[in-house]
Structure 1
Amino acid sequence: MYACDYLEKGVLNALRGTAFPAPSKCYLALYISDPGESGTNGTETLYDGYRRMEIDFSAPADTNGGVGIQNLLDLTFPAAATAAGTITHIGVLDSLAGGNMLARGELIEPLVIGKDETPVVLAGDVLFYLTGDLSRAWKAKVLNLFRGQSLAGITPFHSLWNGSPESGGAELSGDNYARVAVSFSAPVEQPSGQLLARNTVAASYPRPSTAWGTWTHSAICSADSSGEPVWIKARAEPMALKKGYMPMIAEGAVEVGLN
């Protein structure tokens, strides 16, 4: 499954201090055409007796090289009184009718619903996982939106690390090292359809008065000290930060999106 615009905007706006309230329940819907990034472009099947089915997801867990969730139970839709066409896509929405689509996906094999047939989605068949540069902790927070846990807005800070903060890395330190506040743009749609938020202004660290160590990773953290990593990116080449060298973060160099 793929994140829809509503989910992407809500998560990226959390980097701008805006909380994203989780839906109290999620519902699975069946479509005879692709709902698209907006979640509003496809055609939902509307056979007599059809209704969306409430869906419960597992706790986030490592899967497919990322962090994912899946439906816990079989979902049995009402039987079709007449032939209902071919289901090609599914969507997860926050309402039994109307509402906002959080994610959508294409069926591996289209499902033809004939007269008196009952569509069934088996446990584990609805899988949504995140890869990319979000930290594992924040991937889990995003996925927990599907489980009724809201996402708080943060004030983001850029930080420098030797090694990934999720793999035993250590944050650099020195006489005048400090994390640097960053601000993010509103989410902007890319030609691929993905939404990205970028840092809006260049930022510079204090000039080291002593060596800080080797900079191998950058991280956006949720506080000016402590907090948790939100986004982690390895440098193309490690850089030794010696006395007198002032690290710079160019405008637009930090790109955050959902993958």
Structure 2
Amino acid sequence: MTVKSQQDLIGLMRIGRVVGLTLQELKAAVHPGMTTAELDALCEAILARSGATPSPRKVYKFPGAACISLNDEAAHGIPGKRVIQDGDLVKIDLTAELGGYMADACVTVPMPGVSAEKKRLVDCAEKALKRAIGAAKAGQPLNAIGRAVEDEVRRHKGLNVVHQLNGHGVGRTIHEEPSVPNIYLKRFRQPLRNGMVLAVEPHITLGAGDIFQADDGWTLKTDDGAAVANFEHTIVVTEGEALLVTA
């Protein structure tokens, strides 16, 4: 969507705050020994307190409130009986709706005992998101975002972008135009516009970056079993620094 009124901005920031605070609570609560279903139930309860609803279930009939993906699961992990272990990377990707507006964000939470390589991966993914958001300015080409992600990842030897996963427009539904690749693609040179609402979400891996869909029909996993880290914010493009909706 594009923010066209003060009402749009207020509605978007309202749900953005709910999503951001929910992820903060989940990040503080997740621990080894907890199942992903238990973490998801907590997510649902926190959203309910705010009157918000999980968007993936509403839009796509996803079987959970949040996508909870571990280690080599790049995205769309289904909450269930799987027990979170020491050393896991837990990705919590949450899109929620309130008052007709949606916001989308993700955090990667390293569990105690995580390896140095996984810590390096998480650091890279966080920095890649920061660089990507910094590149999102009105008048700049859309592919400046992917270039920024790639430039950051090249600074971290052996890490790669999961190139099949993109960011996207968001605001009135989960996935809107435009697609926002996390690599530089020449054809994505349309200018970013003031007020555009984007979900920026680089996925970074210790492996080659290729993925496949698991038999459950939802979970996306790396071909080589390498771990993935992902951070995401919903932003509003401006002529200066982007407005962080889900901070």
Q: Same fold (TM over 0.5)?
A: no
Higher helix share goes to which structure?
Answer: 2
What is the TM-score normalised by the length of structure 2? 0.22
Between Structure 1 and Structure 2, whose CA radius of gyration is higher?
Answer: 1
